[in-house]
Structures are given as structure tokens and as C-alpha cells.
Amino acid sequence: MQVVLRAFFIGRAAAQALYEQVGNVVGETLATLGRWDAQQREVLRQQIQEILERAAQEEQQITQSKPLVKGQKPLDLQTTIDELRAEMARLRTELKRYRQQN
């Protein structure tokens, strides 16, 4: 009887020790994942910040290098897009003609 009781307490102690070890491993794993996630978010934030800064610098260079002549209106974005589309259509037509010739 005493052997059975002792085996019960040994098994119970072993189960508790194993439970604590599993808890520690899971806790450490979650902490590591949390740190990794935070690092990745910081890297992403820095990259986005760098991209925005570059875009702002390029925009500033363009706006400073092309001052408006007195009486000149700023470029209309829709007009520019329409002109680019028309140019693409002309190029497609020329390419089609070239392919038909060959």
C-alpha cells in the first residue's frame, strides 16, 4: 500500500514538473514570437518612413526645378493621363503596322 501511495506522489510530482517545463517553453516561445513581431513591425515602419521621405524629396526637387512661368497654369493631371493614353494608342497602332509588314 505504501509503495502505491509513494508511486502516486512520484507520478504527481513528475506531472507537475513536466507541466511547469511545458509552460516555460510555451511562455518563452510566445515571448520570442512577440519580440520578432515587434522587430518586423519596426523594420516595416522604418522602410515606409524611408519611402515617404524619398518621395517627399523627389517631389520637392521637381516642384523646385520647374517653377511656373508668370501666367502658366499648373499641369492638369487628367490632361497628362489623357495625353499618355493617346500616345500609347499611337504606339500600339504603329507597332501593329510594323508587325503586319513583317
Q: Is the pTM of this model over 0.75?
A: no
Q: Give tens-digit pLDDT for 10-66.
A: 999 999 999 999 999 999 999 999 999 999 999 999 999 999 999 999 888 887 765
Q: Give tens-digit pLDDT for 69-101.
A: 555 565 678 888 889 999 999 999 999 998 898
pLDDT attached to residue 1: 83
Are 6 and 12 contacting, i.e. CB atoms less than 8 angstroms apart? no
Report how far residue 74's alpha carbon sits from residue 58's, in angstroms, rounded to the nearest whole number. 17
Residue 8 backbone zone (phi > 0: left; psi -120 to 50: alpha; other: beta): alpha
Q: Pull the grid cell for residue 101.
A: 509588314
Instruction: Please report, in angstroms and rounded to a whole number, the separation of the first and last CA atoms in the chain.
Output: 101
**Of 90, 91, 67, nearest in space to 75 by CA:** 67
- State how far the alpha carbon of 55 is from the alpha carbons of 41, 59, 89, in Å: 21, 6, 29
